[in-house]
Amino acid sequence: MDLVTLTIDGIKVQVPAGTTVLEAARSANIQIPTLCYLKDVNQIGACRMCLVDTGARALAAACVMPVSEGMVVKTNTPAVREARKVNMELLLSNHDRKCLTCVRSKNCELQTLAEELGVRDVRFEGAMSSHPIDDSSLSIVRDPGKCIQCRRCVAVCHKVQKVGVIGTVGRGFNTVIAPAFDEKLGDVGCINCGQCIMACPVGALREKDSTEEVWKAIGDPAKHVVVQPAPAVRVALGEEFGMPMGTRVTGKLAAALRRMGFDKIFDTNYGADVTIMEEGTELLNRIQNGGVLPMITSCSPGWIKYIEHYYPEFLPNLSSCKSPHEMLGAIIKSYYAEKNHIDPKDIYVVSVMPCVAKKFEAKRPELGNGELKDVDAVITTRELARMIKEAGIDFVNLPDEDFDPLMGESTGAAAIFGATGGVMEAALRTVADILEGKDLDAIEYTAVRGIEGVKEATVTVAGKEIKLAVANGTGNAEILMEKMKRGEADYTFIEVMGCPGGCVTGGGQPIVPARERMVTDPRVVRAKAIYEEDAAMAERKSHKNASVQKLYDEYLGKPNSHKAHELLHTHYVDRSGK
């Protein structure tokens, strides 16, 4: 690789040819401010925050300027500072500056940068663009008044997720980021993955808030309020309280939920173990009885909506299993209710999810029994953090507590649901034991771990070869779907997670600023914590979960039994409009 030597602020820097000035400066620990830049996703030089002096007539945008031999870059001259500041003021002049009440306050890249650039006044008072807030989606709220048109959401929607339902509309001052033809987000082929929220530097995209309805339920003495957090929540929630990325806060999470006033603290991980019993059995049945293969996982509601819109021909390939929190919701309102003599109508189930698509999922008419929904409210990891703060709980100093018995018990197999490849690995741990008829020791299927977009592996179980594929992010799922379309996919089992990296970096997780994403990959750091969680568990195979065994003994009979089907399985909808 050719190396190029340049000077940045008097420091000699050597980087590979083709590197941008921004990245070169970063390698020398020189911070150049950015707004529209998002590593590997968006590099368009639009916001003009990263302007630097390269000795040319005009200042250059460092994020798109390639380095050249002998280049002399100055990132901190009066002209550079002034230009950045004026550009910031212009952005702020058409920004809804209600920072005090903004959900992104204190985690807003615009706010941070304005502060760092020393903007103390906005000299430009002029017309403000006015586009209505779009809250038509059950998962995502779009607020154009806060939008700075950095296009990071557009890039992630088109290039990473290959959904492309939002784009730039109009020109100049009238430009707005919106779906085509003035349609609402709730009416187009949006899959609710929320990766646009994760990309947004400001509060223009956010989850539909459900905290109020949850507080209301907790405050209602007639309601028995049960909460269940997803596997990925416990490896990310700490970040909202200033703890380092990758900190496991499982015990503090249980303690916080108890102090918030929930009546029962259960665990979606229990639901994940049940999912493996059902999905593993379904897979074995399909293999043994000539069912539709490859079977594809159905845990990720972003992925489900994606396939419903864009590849409905493969709906029969989806596992009929409900997602883990929906399974647990159904079990709580049947088995748990009966066992404890509670009218299921009085039970209110709250799921804490790393996901905004789960909000839409919970409202699907097929997930429940008429008026009785499996899950009543879904809040994201971020919303939970806000509620904990609102309740005045000192999260960092909480003691470690346990989830409540029975449906708070889980295995390592459930823990890894939060990372891409985890559901596949968890299923293999159980399926292999069943097929081999013994308790196998080799349970770590490392070939399906890691953040590579598409992973393929062949495992031999009981002398039988099972061909697997794992995709994370719907853009990568598209590669597998196209392969299936061409008849080139001879897989037995496919896992798809709608978000890049899986649930650990789902659309409901703590938002990592672009600046940090330049040096840290949350997909890797949080997944590492997930696998630590797995390794720390006494039991690491779903079928070894004693409470799950009890559920089958006392209530469901066998996996995939009639009763299990009634409660734990679902069907899908062709949304392609064709």
Region from 169-177, 414-422, 526-534, 544-552 binding other proteins, contact rule CB under 8 A: 169-177
- Confirm or reject binding of residue 166 to other proteins (CB under 8 A): yes
Q: Which two tokens stand for residue 37?
A: 């830049």
Q: What residues have CB less than 8 Å from 80, skipping those under 6 apart?
A: 51, 52, 53, 59, 74
Name the residue nearer to other proteins (CB basis): 155 or 227.
155
The distance of closest approach from Cβ of residue 315 to other proteins in the complex, given in angstroms and rounded to an integer, is: 21
Residue 279 catalytic? yes
- Confirm or reject binding of residue 164 to other proteins (CB under 8 A): yes
Position among 169, 243, 391, 434 found at the interface with other proteins (CB under 8 A): 169
Residue 319 catalytic? yes
For other proteins, the binding residues in 221-260 under the rule CB under 8 A are none
Name the residue nearer to other proteins (CB basis): 168 or 446.
168
Name the residue nearer to other proteins (CB basis): 169 or 293.
169
Which is the catalytic residue, given 503, 533, 541, 542? 503
Q: Which residues of 542-572 are buried (b: 16+ CB within 10 A; e: fewer)?
A: bbbbeebeebbeebbeebbbeebeebbbbeb
Task: Give the Cβ contact number of residue 393 at 10 Å.
Answer: 18
Residue 361 catalytic? yes
The distance of closest approach from Cβ of residue 138 to other proteins in the complex, given in angstroms and rounded to an integer, is: 20
Name the residue nearer to other proteins (CB basis): 132 or 170.
170
Within a 13 Å sphere around the CA of 271, how many CA atoms are in the beta-carbon half? 28
Name the residue nearer to other proteins (CB basis): 12 or 578.
578
Region from 178-186, 195-203, 361-369, 443-451 binding other proteins, contact rule CB under 8 A: 178-186
Q: What angle do CA 207, 212, 216 make, to 5 degrees?
A: 150
Region from 173-181, 280-288, 364-372, 468-476 binding other proteins, contact rule CB under 8 A: 173-181
Position among 72, 180, 396, 462 found at the interface with other proteins (CB under 8 A): 180
Q: At what angle do helices 250-260 and 381-390 cross, to 10 degrees?
A: 60
Position among 181, 370, 442, 486 found at the interface with other proteins (CB under 8 A): 181
Distance CA 69, CA 67 (A): 7
For the chain, the maximum distance between any two Cα atoms, rounded to a whole number of angstroms, is: 79
**Cβ atoms of residues 273 and 548 within 8 Å:** yes
The distance of closest approach from Cβ of residue 193 to other proteins in the complex, given in angstroms and rounded to an integer, is: 15
Distance CA 166, CA 149 (A): 12
Q: Which helix (H) or strand (E) holds 379?
A: strand 377-380
Position among 18, 66, 70, 170 found at the interface with other proteins (CB under 8 A): 170
Residue 355 catalytic? no
Task: Give the Cβ contact number of residue 438 at 10 Å.
Answer: 10
For other proteins, the binding residues in 7-36 under the rule CB under 8 A are none
Residue 334 catalytic? no
First to last CA, the chain: 50
Name the residue nearer to other proteins (CB basis): 317 or 476.
476
Q: How many binding residues for other proteins (CB under 8 A)? A: 12
Position among 74, 81, 158, 563 found at the interface with other proteins (CB under 8 A): 158
3-class SS string, 123-153: CCCCCCCCCCCECCCCCEEECHHHCCCCCHH
Residue 499 catalytic? no
Name the residue nearer to other proteins (CB basis): 165 or 274.
165
Which is the catalytic residue, given 82, 115, 338, 366? 366
Residue 547 catalytic? no
Sequence-ordered alpha helix ranges (H) in 405-485? 412-415, 422-436, 474-485
Which is the catalytic residue, given 23, 278, 279, 495? 279
Per-residue DSSP letter, 286: H
Task: Give the Cβ contact number of residue 228 at 10 Å.
Answer: 29
Residue 495 catalytic? no
Sites of contact with other proteins (CB under 8 A): 158, 164-171, 179-181
The residues assigned a catalytic role are: 279, 282, 299, 319, 358, 361, 366, 503
